[in-house]
Structure 1
Amino acid sequence: MKASLSAIVTALAIAAPAWAQNGNPGGSINDNLGNPDYGVCRGVDAKCFHQWKREPTSKYRILLFTRTAGPRHAALGKALGSGLNPMLGPDNIIQREMQRIAADNGWAIDYTEDPAQMVNLSGYNAVVFVSTSRDALDDNGKTALRQYLRAGGGFVGIHNAFGTMYNWPWYEGLLGGTNFYDHGPFRKADVVMVDKNDASTRGLPARWEFGDEWYNLVPFPTKVRFLATVDEKSYGATLEQPRPPGGAFPLGFPPRLPSVVGRHPGHGSFHPVAWCQYYDGGKAWLTTLGHDARAYEADGGFMGAQQFQKLIAGGIASVMGAKPFCR
């Protein structure tokens, strides 16, 4: 006797791995936003991690990459000079505060915006992209990042790491099968923990107020462990913010025209802002949060800054292996 269609669907759902998504969280508003196959092992099953023999770590070391080949966030300040660890100016707030966060956790840190430095990654326990943009890596850097992940490396993408390397499918997969599409005004809203057992979320309040641009995403993330969302119903007042040095767009970008096409509707009842996954042999921890410089400062008094810094420090620690990853 032939099995009924409903029985087959039920059996497939039971057999699906724990990370598998049936439809999209938040309902149909998130359907049809793409679900490409990136041709690698990815998800929350550790079988996708290459646990190869490696040298013991005496001190955790991270590499911070903040190069912009398109729009530049004010929190990054003026573009940095070449090489590793060039001199910082007073407006290079993210680079300076990430040094402090690393020191507070006992980590060594190098920082760069020089693509030539991105071909030697094997000495780092984590590579961290913060508000990079567009084609920030050349071909040699792309090759090095891929080989680094395949050797079991750790990647952390923060804020406009999602506005980077749009036309490189492997990188889109690294982000969780997603990319930045657009955002509304910079405004306050509530970040909601949906998984409080991760190293990055443990100890954080169930809900905390923060200010950000609240990125809308296309495609919608898949095969990831969602850690935090933004409650779109809590969207509040627009916040004042510093403007980027010399404007948001580099020379050669034409001014924007008034839009005559549709606008992204948001993600409704499930709008993710942080998640994790194993990817092509490595570990990836991602968050769309982190637009404003004050979110990184120890004493800036910005709403949710302490929680945000704990979130990203936990994510970095987890991809390095200093804390459990994605569970």
Structure 2
Amino acid sequence: MRTTCKAALALTAGAALCLPPQAAAPAAAPHTAAPAADPTYGILVFSRTAGFRHDSVDEGVTALRELGAAHDFTVTATEDPAAFTTDNLARYRAVVFLSTTGDVLGPAQEAALEQYMGAGGGYVGVHAAADTEYDWPFYAGLAGALFQSHPAIQPATVRVEDRAHDATAHLGAAWQRTDEWYNYRTNPRTTAHVLAALDESSYSGGTMSGDHPIAWCKDYAGGRAFYTGGGHTAESYAEPAFRRHLLGGIRWAAGLTQADCRPETGYTPLFDGTGTTGWKQAGPGGFTLNDGTLTSQGGMGLFRYDREITGDYSLKLDWKLHGDDNSGVFLGFPASDDPWSAVDHGYEIQIDATDTADRTTGAVYGFRSADVAARDAALNPPGEWNTYELRVTGERLEIFLNGRKINDFTNTDPARSLRDGHIGLQNHGDGDAVSFRNIRLQQDGATPGPRTGEIRGVNDTCLDVDGAGTADGTRVQIYACNSSAAQRWTVSADGTLRALGKCLDVSGGGSLDGTRIQLWTCNGTGAQVWTARSDGTVRNPQSGKCLDASGGTWEDRTQVHLWTCHTGPNQKWTLP
């Protein structure tokens, strides 16, 4: 640290709020670190078409070559499926499917791509990559969604949902552009992290009921998969913003930058970039608001969310260091106009590029260091955005950086509580410029309006009513997702999960491990109440146990039952 501490508090958890040393001259203005050059790597661009061929393919290849020349990657362009061998694919950090159409690979080539992804490879799908390999389930999961239809080429508004991912961080909240806007057969939101979505009111011909993802990312089969629906027109590849969008997708798929690409639903914005209503500054200094971004200035102070947060919750926020800067996120402190109240009574999750292990990014400041190796693998450098998830369950705090768990801390101090208190952002002092975007909260026990769609579980299967039966006692199982009514669930405000007009039910209201889960007439009992937790489990509060896919192989028709919660993969569910 570069500070001198207030004597009475020098040994507290909040030493990060220390006073800056006295100086005769004003502090230097914050500087922005120059981005480090990427190491040289190679990508394979594949543009074979067995159906419609886009006139823009040549412009796309040219644009990717130009991006590579400017950003240290080499491009091998081919339309020969023979390039898809295990040995050849291993030469590339990412494979780009550039407006491919139809069945473009044979069984041996498909197996090679599956092996490539399983070894940690990267996939980038551009536009008609979603109009490809309809009969290959692995590819449908890789692309995230497949083409259904499209209206005429026209301008539309793209709503940017994630401004931390390298593919979208350069964009504003609304992106106006002209393209051919695909409708997709399924909504990828439950299986992928949506980066941007179309505003269907801004153009004609959208058919996805107002929730229309158009760019997304996901961890898939051991590798990374990115897709963008843009790129139909030749003019797209001359647009600087679209070219930067492609570059960011390639960099992420190739593992050159990190991001949280887990599916995300059920979060409420605390700061969405449009204003700071509900926030209050404690102490000197503050934050500027520009382009949907809060940036710290001066200090030492704290920007506090004025509503107390209680119970279990998941807090997500995006942040960026501009250089060797310092800030932090405080949890569990009482309301006060004195920022030192957060030091004495709360916990700080540190943001600092260079301090000691227990006082640098990912640490619970003064209490527990992050797993430094995991943190280093997940961390983007100054000048690039990062995403924290701070997950509080009881008095346990789990810290995720760009989707990777880097710290696990349990409060044992009876004078403090992670479950009850306020959250705040630190403005550390002159010369420390740290920026924040998209602060959002998910709380257990919240009652949002009804939502309908698939419930996705282990191995990317769906929660399914056997045979679409409606008789009381019909078994509930996992099955390959097929968009049928048997897999269409409504998450209701009363805590029930409903399909085919009936409720997901614990047989006999039981609580023993292995108790059957079934479909039953909705009756208002505790056997039919379910709570989605921030750890991914779905719990029945009456029994205190979790919805669980039985056994250890999890194939089609594997029955679900009640089981002691352990947060294994067969207890992780993504709700609509």
TM-score bracket relative to the smaller structure: 0.5 to 0.7
What residue in structure 1 maps to residue 191 of structure 2?
223
State the match for 2:258 in structure 1: 324
Greater Rg by CA: 2
- Per-residue CA deviation, residues 110-156 of structure 1 (Å, 9 max, x unaligned), is 00001111222001000000100000112221111000000000000
1:107 paired residue number: 73
Runs of 4+ aligned structure 1 residues displaced above 4 Å come to none
Give the TM-score of the pair, scaled to structure 2.
Answer: 0.37
1:270 aligns with one of 202, 207, 211: 211
Hey, what's the Cα distance between the residues in 2 that align with 1:131 and 1:224? 20
Structure 1, gaps ≥5 residues long: 1-56, 77-91, 237-263, 298-304
Offset at residue 202 of structure 1 (A): 0.9
Task: Report the Cα distance in structure 1 between the residues aligned to 2:94 and 2:110, rounded to whole angstroms.
Answer: 16
Equivalent in the alignment of 2:82 = 116
Tell me if the contact between 2:63 and 2:243 (Cα under 8 Å) persists in the aligned partners.
no
1:176-224 Cα shifts (integer Å, max 9, x gaps) = 2x21000001111111101111121112111121111111011221321
Aligned position for 2:157:
190
More relative contact order, 1 or 2 (CA 8 Å, 6+ apart): 1
Q: How do residues 258-297 of structure 1 correspond to structure 2 at under 5 angstroms?
A: 266-297=207-238
- Give the alignment partner of residue 147 of structure 2, picking from 154, 158, 180: 180
For residue 132 of structure 1, what is the amino acid of its counterpart? T
Number of equivalences: 221
Q: 1:160 corresponds to which letter in structure 2?
A: A
The amino acid of 2:212's aligned partner reads H
Give the residue type in structure 2 aligned to 1:75: S
Give the 5 Å matches for 1:68-79: 68-76=49-57
Which residue in the other structure is 1:142 paired with? 110
2:247 aligned partner: 313
Cα-Cα RMSD: 1.6
* 1:28-47 pair list within 5 angstroms: none
- Which deviations, in whole Å up to 9, do the C-alpha atoms of 1:225-270 show, x marking residues without a partner? 100011111117xxxxxxxxxxxxxxxxxxxxxxxxxxx8611322
Query: What is the rounded CA distance, in whole Å, between the counterparts of 1:265 and 1:61 in structure 2?
Result: 36
2:256 and 2:77 mapped to 1: Cα distance? 20
Letter in 2 for 1:313: L
**Equivalent-residue separation in structure 2 for 1:265 and 1:105 (angstroms):** 35
Higher fraction of strand:
2
Greater helix content: 1
Residue type at the aligned position of 2:167: S
Q: Mark the runs of 5 or more structure 2 residues left unpaired by the alignment.
A: 1-37, 262-401, 403-576
Tell me, in whole angstroms, the C-alpha distance in 2 between the residues paired with 1:281 and 1:131: 24
1:184 alignment partner AA: P
Find the aligned partners of 2:164 and 2:39 in 1 and give their Cα distance: 27
Say if 2:44 and 2:95, in contact at 8 Å, map to a contact too.
yes
TM-score by length of 1: 0.65
Query: What does residue 205 of structure 1 align with?
Result: 172
Q: Please show how residues 237-248 of structure 1 align to structure 2 within 5 Å.
A: none
Query: What is the alpha-carbon distance in structure 2 between the residues aligned to residue 215 and residue 101 of structure 1?
Result: 25
Instruction: Give the secondary structure class of the aligned counterpart of 2:216.
Output: strand
